Amino acid sequence: MLRVISKQFSILLVFLIALSVNVFAKDVYIIHGYKSTSNYGWFHAVAQKLSKEGYKVNILNLPNADKPVLKEWLGAMQKEIQKIDRDTYFITHSLGGIATLHFLSETFKSQDKDFQVGGVVLVSPFDEELKKLPIFRSFTDKKPNYQILKNVIKNRVVISAKDDAIVPTDLSYRVARSLDADFIQTQKGGHFMESEGYTDLPLVIEVFQNFSAESKR
């Protein structure tokens, strides 16, 4: 009888541990950019490494990435992202950055509480019109509400390469300044695209490790 009880207790303990890991796991959403998908470049490598560190990673596929429309992307994000709290993080690339900032400023426009989002890591973001790509106007015609964003996002980091020929690093710097974010500028890296050889981006992992270290202080 004792063995049966012990076995049942062990099964229950394993179940409770698994349940607690699932409930308390930190969620990461990776948001792609123009002409991109969830299979793009460095997304999966970053997702695998973060998963090993205990994060639950979701890489979204947003509609009509070849002809993106902000309203459609926001609708898709609202369907895919059911819960946002202090254990929710976002990693974005290029156009995914401004889309995520709009999404968060819309989501929290009626909130007055501080720090409802764990953090954002924006890779090569912009919030101004790119003359070579007028297709992005629905994203850049209106600025996201940076005051709300600064209030609700605890950790804010922008990554940009000095030699980015698609989104000039000055544009990414201005996003960082508006967001009051840490600005990490690399000498090389271009637009951190798959075509430039980026199948991994260890710098993003370093940023998350810093997030973890700071949260333990």
Per-residue pLDDT of the chain (217 residues; tens, 9 = 90+): 334 434 444 444 444 444 444 445 799 999 999 999 999 999 999 999 999 999 999 999 999 999 999 999 999 999 999 899 999 999 999 999 999 999 999 999 866 666 789 999 999 999 999 988 999 999 999 999 999 999 999 999 999 999 999 999 999 999 999 999 999 999 999 999 999 999 999 999 999 999 877 766 5
Is position 69 within any domain? yes
Structural domains counted in the chain? 1
Q: What residues are labeled active site?
A: 94, 164, 191
Long-range contacts of 59-62 (CB under 8 A, 24+ apart): 59/29, 59/30, 59/32, 60/29, 60/30, 60/31, 60/32, 61/32, 61/37, 62/31, 62/32, 62/96, 62/99
Q: For residue 100, what are the domain limits?
A: 26-215
Is position 19 within any domain? no
**Tokens of residue 200, six digits:** 């991994």
Distance CA 161, CA 28 (A): 23
Is position 138 within any domain? yes
Is position 12 within any domain? no
CATH number at residue 130: 3.40.50.1820
Angle (CA) 32-216-182 rounded to 5° is 45
